[in-house]
Chains A and B, each alone.
Chain A
């Protein structure tokens, strides 16, 4: 099974500031996809951003961007201009067609936004 590691159980950020959440993964595949999901207290997982491994350009979605380092197997999420609504659990996930398209999730990072 693939391993996805999130080494920061908890993070906090001041409102309007920038925060980076870390994720590393272990794979021998060359083609795969990486995701960041947000899970607010309501428990509904929401896709934040996706990165295809074959793309060198880092994905960006409004205030969310990633730093994808394929050789280092690192996939961090940067949240700019943090808002109170960004407070949630954030999960990094890996998916590959060679592993049956199954999603492998990390253990999550709990983000607190301080007003």
Chain B
């Protein structure tokens, strides 16, 4: 079974630039999560999708962050414009549904904002 795929693995941008991350969850998984993991901290949930609908985006900085999951499969997380404090690893995870006890994580994208 293929795992959660993410790209790119690394990205370096200047502040005020835009960036987008892509995630392909495990086939058949209805729920998809985006986490932000700042160095030295645990992952923090940014947004949770159930199929193509948003379940929870309460911690997503909506003035600069956006995410979509068209057709309920792949997802894209965008930052526009980026700030220095957005430097972090962005993790994507998926689960069978929102009640599932186990989440499966991708390898993450390390973003550096200069």
Q: A47-B102, A101-B99 are in contact. Are A42 and B107 (CB under 8 A)?
A: yes
The yes or no answer to A45 lying at the interface (CB within 8 A) is: yes
Contacts of A103 in B (CB 8 A): 33, 43, 45, 103
B105 CB contact (under 8 Å) in A44, A50, A108: A44
A10 to B56, CA, bound (A): 32
Across the interface, do A105 and B43 meet the contact criterion of CB distance under 8 Å? yes
Given contacts A33-B101, A102-B56, A108-B42, contact A43 B48 (CB under 8 A): no
Query: Number of residues in A with C-beta < 8 Å to the partner?
Result: 22
Does A107 have its Cβ within 8 Å of any Cβ on chain B? yes
> Contact flags (1/0) for A82-102 with B, using CB distance below 8 Å?
000000000101010100111
B55 touches A45 (CB 8 A): no
Per the bound structure, the CA–CA distance linking A73 and B44 in Å amounts to 21
- B55, A107: Cβ atoms under 8 Å? no
Q: A45 touching B105 by the CB < 8 A rule?
A: yes
Interface of B is mostly: loop
Query: What residue in chain A is nearest B45 (Cβ atoms)?
Result: A102
In the complex, what distance in Å separates the CA atom of A107 from the CA atom of B41?
4
Number of B residues contacting the other chain (C-beta, 8 Å)?
24
Residue B98 CB within 8 A of the other chain:
yes
Q: Which residues of B contact A50 (CB under 8 A)?
A: 101-102
| B56 cross-chain contacts in A, Cβ below 8 A | 100, 102
Q: In the complex, what residues of B have CB within 8 A of residue A100's CB?
A: 48, 55-56
Query: Is B40 an interface residue, CB under 8 A from the partner?
Result: yes
Which residue of B42, B89, B99 is within 8 Å of A97 (Cβ)? B99
A20 → chain B closest CB, angstroms: 19
**B25: Cβ under 8 A from any A Cβ:** no
* Chain A residues with CB under 8 A of B110: 43
Contact between B98 and A105 (Cβ–Cβ < 8 Å)? no
Is the pair A4, B42 in contact by a Cβ cutoff of 8 Å? Answer: yes
Residues of A within 8 A of B (CB): 4, 33, 37, 42-47, 50, 91, 93, 95, 97, 100-103, 105-108
Enumerate chain B interface residues (CB-CB to A < 8 A): 3, 33, 40-45, 48, 55-56, 89, 91, 93, 98-99, 101-103, 105-108, 110
